[in-house]
Structure formats: structure tokens, C-alpha cells
Amino acid sequence: MTISRIALVGIVVVVIGPNPAEAQEVMWHRDYTEAVREAKAKGKPILLCFGTAECTWCKKLDATTFKDRKVVDTLNEQFVPVKIDANRFEALAESLGVQSFPTLILAAADGRILGRQLGYLNPEKMASFLTKARREAASEPPRPSTSPALAANNIIIQARADFDECRFLECLLRCDEMTTANPSHSVATEARQLTDRIVANPAAWGKVCKEINDHLDALYPDVKAQLQR
């Protein structure tokens, strides 16, 4: 089994329209950060469903299998389900080797990839897959296995969130971490672009300088005390 690490913080997912006649729905997560937190808090594995709006088999999966009560109950009770629009997150799909849709990826709460399933599954086969996946997730011990490429996706997503929330210093630190550790990664270019946008923006750069000065001021009493000993 190939074990790698995925932690994609801040992903917004697209759910294809539900059948109004069906009250039972999969509780797809729209925020990957919250999904990871829930998975860690509840000890549940994460089930990532990659698809596209134009994917015929993805639509069929939504209209049939993901309406089946047994499948819905299993996903909602035993997994943290996340649906990802691969058109919006091409770098992520590429990093995970997702080339066809739908693709299901099972990940442990700590981000290790435990398995995958390609293509459409009817309700019976999906239920079987989920049962097997849950068993594997429960039996698979944590392993110190980190994929630099996948870790970079996590960092850039967090960096985007920091930038959008005007946490510019944190954004710069994350971008520097990623470009230093993974300079050839496909999203390293975006990290450099975020850095350039902050440096070129007087207000943003001024905020960064202020935060650095505030940190230094906070450290000064401790440093002074150490020097006086």
C-alpha cells in the first residue's frame, strides 16, 4: 500500500445539485480545514471524492450511489467526506495522481493516504469499498511518511488563507518554507507570487514590519534579562 501525506487546508468543494425528492444526503464538507479538525477530534478517516461538473459518471454517482441510505449513513457516521472539484484544484489532483473521474481517496486523520478507488461504483460496491476502507484505516498504524509534494499543497492552501485574512507575516513564512523545501514544486510559483504581492503592497509590507517589531519588542525584556545575568 502506498502511504503518502495529504493535508489540504482551506479547500472549497463543489457539490452537484441534490435530488429534492431525497431527504437523505451525504454531509459533504466544504472546508478542508474543518474536515481535518473533525477527523482528528473524532478519530475518523477522510474520504476525498474528486470529480468535475462535466463528468457524467460523477453525476451518476451523485444521483444514485450517494443517495443510497446505507452509503449515506456509512459516510456520515464513519467518515469525514470531502468533495473536490478537480477543475478548481488541478495542482492538488495532479499531486495525488488523479487523472480520471470520479476518484475516491481514503486518507487517515493525520494525512496519510491509505487507498484509492477509480471510477463509478454502484451502491453495493460502494458499501463494500467503504467497509474495507474503514477496516484498513482502523488497522493502519501511523507512520512517519511525508511527501514533500503533498505537504507543499497543504502549505500553499494555508498561505492563501493567510493572505486573504491579511495575516501577511504568516503568509510570508509559509511561502518561504515551501519554496525553500520544494523549489521545483508546481505551486512554488504561486508562493513566490504571493510573496511579491505582499512586498509590493506598502500597506501589507508595513503591517509585516509592524508585526516583526512587535515580536521584537515582546522578546526584548527576556533578552535584556538574559544579558544581565
Note the residue count of the chain: 229
Asked if pLDDT for residue 12 goes beyond 50, the answer is no
Sign (positive or negative) of CA dihedral 219, 221, 224, 226: negative
Mean confidence (pLDDT) of the chain: 79
pLDDT at 14: 41
Q: Which of 93-107, 146-160, 215-229 has the highest mean pLDDT?
A: 93-107
Given this model, what pLDDT does residue 211 score?
A: 85
Which H or E element spans position 191? helix 188-200
172 vs 142: which has the higher pLDDT: 172
Fold of 32-139: Glutaredoxin (3.40.30)
Rounded to an integer, the average pLDDT of 8-37 is: 60
pLDDT(227) > 70: no
Gap between the Cα atoms of 121 and 105, Å rounded: 14
Distances (CA, A) of 124 to 59, 66, 69, 127: 17, 11, 11, 5
Compute the distance between CA of residue 203 and CA of residue 108 in angstroms, rounded to an integer: 40
At 150 the pLDDT is: 54
pLDDT at 78 over 50: yes
**What's the pTM value of the predicted model, to 2 decimals?**
0.57
**pLDDT over 80 (residue 178):** no
Most confident of 35-39, 72-76, 127-131: 72-76
Q: For the chain, what is the largest distance between any 2 Cα atoms, rounded to a whole number of angstroms?
A: 75
pLDDT at residue 207 greater than cutoff 50 = yes
What local confidence, expressed as pLDDT, does residue 94 receive? 79
Residue 174: which pLDDT band, with cuts at 50, 70 and 90?
A: confident
What is the pLDDT, as a whole number, of residue 145? 44
| pLDDT at residue 3 greater than cutoff 80 | no
State the pLDDT at residue 54. 94
Is the pLDDT score of 5 beyond 70? no
157 vs 172 pLDDT, higher one = 172
Least Cα distance to 105 among 32, 157, 21 occurs for 32
| Per-domain residue ranges of the chain | 32-139, 148-228
Position 201 scores a pLDDT of 93
In this prediction, what percent of the chain has a pLDDT beyond 90? 34
Of the chain, the percentage scoring pLDDT greater than 70 comes to 76
